[in-house]
Amino acid sequence: MTFQPALPHATLSDRFTAALDQVQEKLVHLLASAPLLLLALLIVFLSIWLGGVLSRRMRVLRRISQSNPYMEGLLRNTVKVLVGLAGVLVALDLLGATSLVGAVLGSAGVVGLVLGFAFKDIAENYVAGVLLSIRQPFSPGDSVCIDIHEGSVIALTSRATVLMTAEGHHLQLPNALVFKSVLLNYSRNPQRRFNFDLMVGHGASLHTALDAGIAAIAAIDAVLADPAPDGSVFSLDNDGAVLRFTGWINQTRNDLTRTRSEALRRVRRALRQHGIAPPEARTRVNLVRNDVLGTLPGENGQERDTSVDHTLDEQVDRAQRAADAGNLLEPTPPPAVGP
């Protein structure tokens, strides 16, 4: 018994004819669905245009822009994306590609998860920048202390908070660090207190020393009368007593460091005039007249400058102008405070 090979079910020409028929069928289907495809494209373009119009006309965004211009831009872009995405979904549903929508959304979720792990730090700083722009814990030009870093605020970008230190250096702190750290804003309250310690010998009257020091501080124009200057005995030891003096200034008009320096000079001179001197490290006998203690070389009573230090103002202004494009902060005028 012999076996013969099975004949093919169709010849090569038959297969070519079937393939050509399929191509013709798909072309006819494409031409037939062309109006539907054009309508879907029109829906997408219309949704993009509508998203732009809505983002520009929403009154809520205008109110937000008055207090936070960065959030205005963020919400406008969010409205555009949501309206445009809705148009794309409607267009795909019109074309009968709902399964494609599910596949795209699923792929987008996986890709988003991978990118989220890859760019975790960038995303964390961006979100922290958004939250900081909403809370506005500082304004441009404010003197702040963030963690262990001090300086004047230049700008808040989407990635970092930019400070200028007292040495004139630019310091960039990641927004995530700023958001999680203890933040001390020296400029939020215009009134600020300074203090310093002075030591007097055991032979001095502490009551007289405190009164003389407080009166000397109160006589400085830069020091506020309310809250009034004060003084107290901070500690006692074998060498003498440590006196702590305090005073308040309006830092929108006067500089803290300069005023503190002037107060130290005034108190030292006042104590000398009352015959009160700091204790000596070694025991020494001085035979001097009382009127000599009231006179010190170079102490002519002239008041020193205590105005606000504007040394870094020009550098800070230049840095702020350079960062305007990405600055998320708006300058706010300081609150009015009485003298």
DSSP SS3 for 289: coil
Percent of the chain with pLDDT over 70: 63
Q: Which residues make beta-bridge pairs with 307? A: 254
CB-count burial class (<10 Å; 0-12, 13-18, 19+) for 299: middle
Q: Which of 85, 84, 58 is nearest to 71 (CA)?
A: 58
Q: Which of 167, 109, 146 is nearest to 316 (CA)?
A: 167
Cα separation, 312 vs 152, in Å, equals 9
Distance (Å) of CA 173 to CA 4, 146, 205? 84, 9, 50
Report residue 27's pLDDT band, with 50, 70 and 90 as the boundaries.
low
Sheet strands side by side (includes 160-164): 170-174, 160-164, 149-156, 143-146, 183-185
Q: What's the pTM value of the predicted model, to 2 decimals?
A: 0.55
pLDDT surpasses 80 at 70: no
The neighbour count for residue 315, using CB atoms within 10 Å, is 14
Report residue 7's pLDDT band, with 50, 70 and 90 as the boundaries.
very low
Which pLDDT does position 334 carry in this prediction? Answer: 47
Domains belonging to the chain, first-starting first, are 20-118 (no CATH), 136-188+314-326 (2.30.30.60), 191-293 (3.30.70.100)
Question: Which pLDDT tens digit goes with each residue over 192-249?
Answer: 999 999 999 888 889 999 999 999 999 999 999 988 999 999 998 888 899 999 999 9
The DSSP secondary-structure symbol of 275 reads T
Report residue 304's pLDDT band, with 50, 70 and 90 as the boundaries.
low
The neighbour count for residue 76, using CB atoms within 10 Å, is 19
Phi, psi of 206 (to 5 degrees): -65, -35
Q: Are 339 and 224 a contacting pair, CB within 8 Å?
A: yes
Cα separation, 172 vs 154, in Å, equals 10
pLDDT surpasses 70 at 116: no
pLDDT, the chain, mean: 77
Highest mean pLDDT among 44-48, 130-134, 233-237: 233-237
